[in-house]
Amino acid sequence: MAVPAAPKPETLAAFEAAKGFMPVREGLALHAAATEAGRLGLPLLEVGTYCGRSTILLADAARAAGTVAVTVDHHRGSEEQQPGWEYHDPAVVDPEVGLMDTLPTFRRTLHKAGLEEYVIAVVGRSPQVARVWAGEVGLVFIDGGHTDEHATADYEGWAPRVAEGGLLVVHDVFPDPADGGQAPYRVYLRALASGAFTEVSVTDSLRVLRRTGPGF
């Protein structure tokens, strides 16, 4: 994979300032993958938006390529972000309904980064959205719920939509259970075993795979 241009300093600054969990090294690898995939002229799709930290990088790549980033999330938070869990943030709880609502923070994130016009935000559950999605995408970034149920549904719903030559990116892949949950790792292994994808790069917990065959 050719080395693409890094994000502009202001884009990287917006990424670092945004609420979220993705480290800079992995973010730069995601941006590189999105920049390459953007050359296909197809949408770049993200499953799992949270507050838009990684969306900034996808939107920046989409802007440069003349395409769009599509981000899919119900915005009620994944399992580990619920009250009582490690990654819960009470600042993104809607006080009126008592549930998490990351959508307002996400919209502010994109506005501050000047990237709103390059993003289509789909508010809904990944499997439901995948069932009505008709076209191909240049990139799928799987970073949603980390249970086997949700990670598997994200893979089965979206991996077949990656165009030939496009990229599948999986976050939080930890071969050692001591480092983190295993559902994304199992999805990554399944993608390799499918015959549809070939590994392109590894950056910490981020895996980039290219669609090279039918496999589905």
> Could you give the C-alpha distances from 38 to 18, 29, 62, 150, 196, in angstroms and in order?
23, 14, 6, 26, 20
Per the residue annotation, which of 75, 146, 150, 171 is the catalytic one? Answer: 146
Query: Quick one: 96 exposed, middle or buried, by C-beta within 10 A (0-12, 13-18, 19+)?
Result: exposed
75 among known catalytic residues? no
Q: Which two tokens stand for residue 166?
A: 């496009």
Return the active site residues: 146
